């Protein structure tokens, strides 16, 4: 007997919903790129006069916001839809944003000092993170700034 049918026959509504969700994911019926899938990490940014100046990730945006304000005098805000991410997905988004906007030390516009993921240590992982980050940003209709 199919697992779904066995559980449904037992009347376990919550378990049935979980099985339905797992079956949808396995069959590809649900969007694989949905940003809110499995974690507690969010992606945030600091935008000043329409220009993105800093990007980062955190599990506690209020604490991180206080730290940034006290250390750098900047205010941060969560990027809509990019919360509850796995740490790996959040890092992929952060690196995609760093790649796009550029580090200040390399002529870019960000105050960030380093990449989230090294482009030289493992170029394949870096490239894959950019692909995944772009998918997640597209899934929440991220609005790119100057």
The pLDDT score that the predictor gives to residue 32 is 42
Query: Do 55 and 24 reside in the same domain of the chain?
Result: no
Residues whose CB falls within 8 Å of the CB of residue 19, separated by 6 or more in sequence, listed in order? 3, 4, 7
pLDDT in tens, 25-42: 333 333 444 444 579 999
144 assigned to some structural domain: no
Query: Do 71 and 119 reside in the same domain of the chain?
Result: yes
pLDDT in tens, 43-55: 999 999 999 999 9
109 assigned to some structural domain: yes
Query: Do 9 and 56 reside in the same domain of the chain?
Result: no
| Mean pLDDT value of segment 58-69 | 97
Question: What phi and psi, each to the nearest 5 degrees, are found at residue 93?
Answer: -65, -45
The pLDDT score that the predictor gives to residue 106 is 96
102 assigned to some structural domain: yes
């Amino acid at each position: 007997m199919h697992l779904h049918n066995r559980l449904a026959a037992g009347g376990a509504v919550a378990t049935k919903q979980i099985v339905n969700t797992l079956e949808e994911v396995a069959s590809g019926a649900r969007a694989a790129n949905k940003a809110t899938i499995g974690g507690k990490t969010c992606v945030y940014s600091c935008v000043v006069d329409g220009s993105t100046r800093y990007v980062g990730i955190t599990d506690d945006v209020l604490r991180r916001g206080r730290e940034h304000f006290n250390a750098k005098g900047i205010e941060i805000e969560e990027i809509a839809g990019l919360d509850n991410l796995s740490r790996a997905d959040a890092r992929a988004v952060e690196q995609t944003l760093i790649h796009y906007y550029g580090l200040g030390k390399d002529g870019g516009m960000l105050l960030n000092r380093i990449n989230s993921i090294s482009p030289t240590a493992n170029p394949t992982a870096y490239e894959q993170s950019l692909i995944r980050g772009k998918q997640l940003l597209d899934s929440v209709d991220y609005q790119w700034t100057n």
